[in-house]
Amino acid sequence: MDVTDAELVCPIKAEDISIRWMNAYVPTADQTVKAYQPSTITFLFRTLKAYAGMAVRGRGIPPFIHPLQMGPGAAGSGPSTNALTTCLNLARICDTSLAGFSQTTADAAAAVLKREMGRLYAAVQQLAQPGVAIDHFASLAAFQAYLLYSLVLFFQLERQGDPFLRQAIMALQEIACTSARHGLVCAAELKNVQPRWAAWVVTEAKRRTLYVVYLFDSVLSAHDGLASYVGTELRGLPAPSSKALWQAASISEWNRAYEAYLDEWSIAGSSTEVGNTGLAIDELWAYPNHEDIDGLARRRGRVDRWLETLDEYGTMMYAVTSSTHGS
């Protein structure tokens, strides 16, 4: 389960992730507003609330956490060891549907979550120091746990007006930046060859988690009456993987699925900026030139190919991007 630094690369400007919260207050000329329909924001709100509810009521794991992360040997040995296990255990105390759950109980539960978030943030700050060896599974777990805590505070404990939550979102984007800097794509993917399963799990789960952070940012912006902007800093990153790859239960099953993926997309050509032939996340955004009929048809064909393979997470992403960008 060990993943080396050499296996992962960051092909984007990660620093832009950490200052995303500033976009609504200090917009720049190159930003594009995402014109969400009210129904899209409602869909996003209910979806992210469901992710928080899954953690709170113990109904499995959200689809941005890979099952392999919960298995033996996946927790890592860094300062955030077992961050996900701790998170899922603590989330259970936030079940507002339990008999006797009161405002006092909610306040106590929120205090517990805030303390753990502070501990995680401090641990990630240590990982950001130069020369520190990275345990990639532990780092990913800390990122995902901080996101889950934030979702639980907002959706389950209804702390929308809590000043702590605003600080937590800035911290979350800083953590996302640190995690992205440690690698968002397998080096092998850039060469269109098969990476190791463990390295792919880290990058795929990290990208899924990062996309949820951006969706959460959109919900928060809508809640506060602020504009939300297209995450152009993510351009070129792979779109969510196929169901067969994500749900593979063994390395042999995943190897077969990845070989099929390479065969499938080798004939589809590449239109990404990072070298991977699979669909890029920005191919789900608005096509820049609708007068380019042939180019638009090629993109739609690639999106159709991608749609045929999706799990529920990918379907959710397509629903949001299609209703927003017409992809």
Q: Residue 272: what pLDDT?
A: 46
Residue ranges, the chain, pLDDT below 70: 27, 71-81, 267-276, 327
Helix axis angle for 38-56 and 136-151, nearest 10°, is: 110
Distances (CA, A) of 30 to 25, 26, 170, 230, 322: 14, 12, 22, 10, 22
Residue 129: alpha-carbon gap to chain centroid: 23
Model pLDDT for residues 106-127, shown as the tens digit of each residue: 999 999 999 999 999 999 988 7
Q: Residue 178: what pLDDT?
A: 94
Q: Residue 97: what pLDDT?
A: 83
What tokens were used for 267?
Answer: 């004939």
Residue type, 53: G
Q: Which helix (H) or strand (E) holds 244?
A: helix 243-246
Domain map (residue ranges) of the chain: 5-234, 236-327
Phi/psi-derived region of residue 131, left when phi > 0, alpha when psi is between -120 and 50, beta in every other case: left
DSSP 108-137: HHHHHHHHHHHHHHHHHHHHTSTTPPP-HH
